[in-house]
Amino acid sequence: MLEFLPKEVREGLEAARKRDHKRKSRLRVEVGDAVYPVLRFWQDGFALDADFSPGKLRGLVDVYDGSRHVFQCLIVASSIENGELVCDFKRATAVTGRAPLDFWRDENAPVGYLPRP
Protein backbone atom coordinates (compact mmCIF):
# COMPACT_ATOMS: atom_id res chain seq x y z
CA MET A 1 0.00 0.00 0.00
CA LEU A 2 2.91 2.35 0.61
CA GLU A 3 3.95 2.10 -3.04
CA PHE A 4 0.95 4.28 -4.02
CA LEU A 5 2.10 7.16 -1.80
CA PRO A 6 4.44 9.88 -3.08
CA LYS A 7 8.14 9.39 -2.41
CA GLU A 8 8.32 12.31 0.08
CA VAL A 9 5.47 10.86 2.16
CA ARG A 10 7.07 7.40 2.24
CA GLU A 11 10.41 8.90 3.35
CA GLY A 12 8.62 10.93 6.04
CA LEU A 13 6.84 7.82 7.35
CA GLU A 14 10.12 5.88 7.42
CA ALA A 15 11.87 8.69 9.31
CA ALA A 16 9.00 8.84 11.83
CA ARG A 17 9.16 5.06 12.32
CA LYS A 18 12.92 5.20 13.01
CA ARG A 19 12.50 8.14 15.38
CA ASP A 20 9.78 6.26 17.27
CA HIS A 21 12.01 3.17 17.63
CA LYS A 22 14.88 5.30 18.97
CA ARG A 23 12.64 6.87 21.61
CA LYS A 24 11.26 3.55 22.84
CA SER A 25 14.61 1.79 23.08
CA ARG A 26 17.11 2.68 25.79
CA LEU A 27 19.53 0.06 24.50
CA ARG A 28 22.73 1.20 22.84
CA VAL A 29 25.83 -0.47 21.47
CA GLU A 30 29.33 0.82 22.19
CA VAL A 31 32.21 -0.06 19.89
CA GLY A 32 35.34 1.66 21.13
CA ASP A 33 34.36 5.33 21.43
CA ALA A 34 31.39 5.10 19.02
CA VAL A 35 27.83 4.74 20.37
CA TYR A 36 24.89 3.47 18.27
CA PRO A 37 21.24 3.25 19.41
CA VAL A 38 19.59 -0.18 19.09
CA LEU A 39 16.30 -0.23 17.20
CA ARG A 40 15.37 -3.86 17.89
CA PHE A 41 16.90 -6.63 20.02
CA TRP A 42 16.08 -10.36 19.91
CA GLN A 43 17.56 -13.62 21.18
CA ASP A 44 20.48 -13.91 18.77
CA GLY A 45 20.81 -10.45 17.23
CA PHE A 46 19.89 -6.79 17.10
CA ALA A 47 19.26 -4.06 14.55
CA LEU A 48 20.84 -0.61 14.29
CA ASP A 49 19.94 2.33 12.07
CA ALA A 50 22.01 1.90 8.90
CA ASP A 51 22.26 5.68 8.36
CA PHE A 52 24.08 6.27 11.67
CA SER A 53 26.13 3.08 11.96
CA PRO A 54 29.13 1.64 10.11
CA GLY A 55 28.53 -0.41 6.97
CA LYS A 56 29.67 -3.64 8.64
CA LEU A 57 30.09 -4.50 12.29
CA ARG A 58 32.02 -7.51 13.63
CA GLY A 59 33.77 -8.45 16.83
CA LEU A 60 33.18 -7.79 20.50
CA VAL A 61 30.73 -5.01 21.42
CA ASP A 62 29.17 -3.81 24.68
CA VAL A 63 25.39 -3.39 25.03
CA TYR A 64 24.06 -0.87 27.57
CA ASP A 65 20.56 -0.24 28.89
CA GLY A 66 20.79 3.43 29.75
CA SER A 67 23.93 3.61 31.87
CA ARG A 68 23.83 -0.04 33.00
CA HIS A 69 26.18 -2.47 31.21
CA VAL A 70 23.99 -5.44 30.25
CA PHE A 71 25.75 -7.68 27.70
CA GLN A 72 29.01 -8.28 25.92
CA CYS A 73 28.19 -9.63 22.45
CA LEU A 74 30.40 -11.29 19.85
CA ILE A 75 29.04 -10.26 16.45
CA VAL A 76 29.75 -12.78 13.69
CA ALA A 77 27.67 -11.37 10.81
CA SER A 78 25.98 -8.13 9.82
CA SER A 79 23.98 -7.06 6.80
CA ILE A 80 21.88 -4.09 5.73
CA GLU A 81 18.16 -4.82 5.29
CA ASN A 82 15.42 -2.19 4.85
CA GLY A 83 17.56 0.66 6.18
CA GLU A 84 18.71 -1.33 9.23
CA LEU A 85 22.08 -2.86 10.00
CA VAL A 86 21.08 -6.33 11.25
CA CYS A 87 23.77 -7.93 13.43
CA ASP A 88 23.79 -11.60 14.42
CA PHE A 89 25.88 -12.58 17.40
CA LYS A 90 27.41 -15.86 18.46
CA ARG A 91 27.20 -15.19 22.17
CA ALA A 92 25.76 -12.60 24.51
CA THR A 93 27.38 -12.80 27.92
CA ALA A 94 25.50 -11.14 30.75
CA VAL A 95 27.64 -8.74 32.75
CA THR A 96 27.70 -9.23 36.51
CA GLY A 97 29.09 -7.03 39.26
CA ARG A 98 31.54 -9.64 40.52
CA ALA A 99 34.10 -12.02 39.09
CA PRO A 100 32.98 -15.61 38.39
CA LEU A 101 33.95 -18.23 40.96
CA ASP A 102 36.49 -20.85 39.99
CA PHE A 103 35.35 -23.27 42.70
CA TRP A 104 32.11 -24.88 43.83
CA ARG A 105 30.41 -23.18 46.77
CA ASP A 106 28.28 -25.47 48.96
CA GLU A 107 24.84 -23.95 49.58
CA ASN A 108 24.77 -25.39 53.13
CA ALA A 109 28.21 -24.09 54.08
CA PRO A 110 28.42 -21.76 57.09
CA VAL A 111 28.51 -18.06 56.37
CA GLY A 112 31.40 -17.48 58.78
CA TYR A 113 33.41 -19.14 61.53
CA LEU A 114 33.68 -18.04 65.14
CA PRO A 115 37.21 -17.61 66.49
CA ARG A 116 38.46 -19.81 69.31
CA PRO A 117 38.69 -18.17 72.73
pLDDT score of 73 more than 80: yes
Question: Can you give the pTM of this predicted structure?
Answer: 0.65
Give the torsion sign (CA, 10, 14, 19, 25).
positive
Question: Which CATH code of 1.10.600, 1.10.3470, 3.30.70, 2.40.10 fits the domain covering 2-94?
Answer: 2.40.10
CA angle at 47 for the pair 42 and 53, rounded to the nearest 5°:
155
* Whole-number pLDDT of residue 21: 58
Asked if 15 contacts 7 with a C-beta cutoff of 8 angstroms, the reply is no
Better-predicted residue by pLDDT, 113 or 21: 113
- Residue ranges covered by each domain of the chain: 2-94
